Amino acid sequence: MMDVRKGKFPDSSRVFPGTISGVRWKLLAGLGGLLCMAVLSSAVAPGLSPAAGGISPVYYSRFSVLTSPGPETPSPEAFRLIPRLIHANHKLTRGETVRTLASAYGTDVRSLQSTNANDFVFMRYGLSIRVHNGIGLLYEVTGVNETLNGIASRYAVGRDLKAFKEEIVQENELPPSALLTGYTFKKGDRVHLPGVYLDLDTYRLPFRSFSRISSRFGMRYHPILKRRIFHQGCDIPMPIGTPVYPSRSGRVVFSGWKGGYGNTVEVRHKDGSLCRYGHLSHIYVKAGQTVQRMKTRLGKVGSSGMSTGPHLHFEIITPSGKAVNPLSKIGKR
């Protein structure tokens, strides 16, 4: 063995020939930790602007589609620089629109609408939405045993299934073997389906334009009954004769006089929910007729039934028969 006085290994190393002593091992482990910290610190790119958070694409590239989302408030600039698909949550700030968000994150409006199942008719401050830098639907696996073949078959409308599966595998960096075996996703996985957009069939306000809501959903003092009762819809004051359109496409299940609602039209939708339009002055549709969202004229605004002036009573009822706040459903299903 080498003599320590000559700058060589101490005698203690003789116990384990060919190995590093305990002291030197601790020293090397410490240096390794410092090196890792230096690598992470190097992810802060000097070339990025403060708006990007000073973080380079190297840092964000860890957040792939099939892993947990990135930072809560991601940098749009970093999203545009990263060549792979990533996603995260974004909290809306004042002045932001779906168009500005799509441009900032390097995607398009329909991709964000499809991913969030929301037309974003109303952009509420503080709302958290899912953003990504791909083009198409970012699908969230909500069930168990969902397979690549099953998801691809469901969304490959008008497309070659084999080619579509290859696109999914490539876009999501799945193993090539996924094309040969029954590849199964885990619940909570997010899968990018390139070029896929959803027909959201969401609720819209039943007018081309409107100015205000005169009576909202919830408890209120009834102007005619002179007592507090629960208002199951919202009242939208409009001039008499203003055209009323379907909030969603569906089939007319009632058309006629309905007590305090006056002249009323009820439209049932394919998911079982129902929209009620009351106090009309004129009705254009009949029961059994199919109507299209914002295209078919249901009737005209009036003041029929128990009403104090021209307005539309607009109501949304779930398949279970529960009335919900119509304003909370606009732009959604």
> Mind listing the pLDDT tens digit of every residue in the chain (333 residues)?
444 344 444 444 443 444 455 556 555 666 666 555 555 555 444 444 444 455 555 555 545 555 555 555 567 877 877 778 889 999 999 999 999 999 999 999 999 999 999 999 888 888 899 999 999 999 999 988 999 999 999 999 899 999 999 999 999 999 999 999 889 999 999 999 999 999 888 999 999 987 799 999 999 988 888 889 999 999 999 999 999 999 999 999 999 999 999 999 999 999 999 999 999 999 999 999 999 999 999 999 999 999 999 999 999 999 999 999 999 999 887
Q: Are residues 290 and 186 in the same domain?
A: no
Q: Residue 271 is which amino acid?
A: D
Q: Are residues 194 and 230 in the same domain?
A: no
CA dist., res. 263 & res. 256, Å (int): 5
Q: Are residues 241 and 194 in the same domain?
A: no
Torsion of CA 326, 328, 329, 330, to 10 degrees: 90
Domain end, chosen from 198, 227, 248, is at 198
| pLDDT attached to residue 3 | 43
Q: Are residues 74 and 169 in the same domain?
A: yes
Distances, alpha carbon 21 to alpha carbons 6, 9, 24, 28, 32, in Å: 17, 9, 5, 11, 16
55 within 8 A of 76, measured Cβ to Cβ: no
Q: Are residues 80 and 117 in the same domain?
A: yes
| pLDDT attached to residue 24 | 61
Q: Are residues 89 and 179 in the same domain?
A: yes
Q: Which domain holds residue 77?
A: 51-198
Distances, alpha carbon 211 to alpha carbons 125, 208, 247, in Å: 20, 11, 17
- Is 292 inside any structural domain? yes
| pLDDT attached to residue 263 | 98
Q: Are residues 252 and 122 in the same domain?
A: no
CA dist., res. 171 & res. 196, Å (int): 13
Q: Are residues 154 and 60 in the same domain?
A: yes
| Residue 130: count of CB within 10 angstroms of its CB | 17
Domain with residue 302: its CATH number is 2.70.70.10
Q: Are residues 236 and 277 in the same domain?
A: yes
| pLDDT attached to residue 4 | 37
Q: Are residues 252 and 144 in the same domain?
A: no
Q: Domain count for the chain, please give it.
A: 2
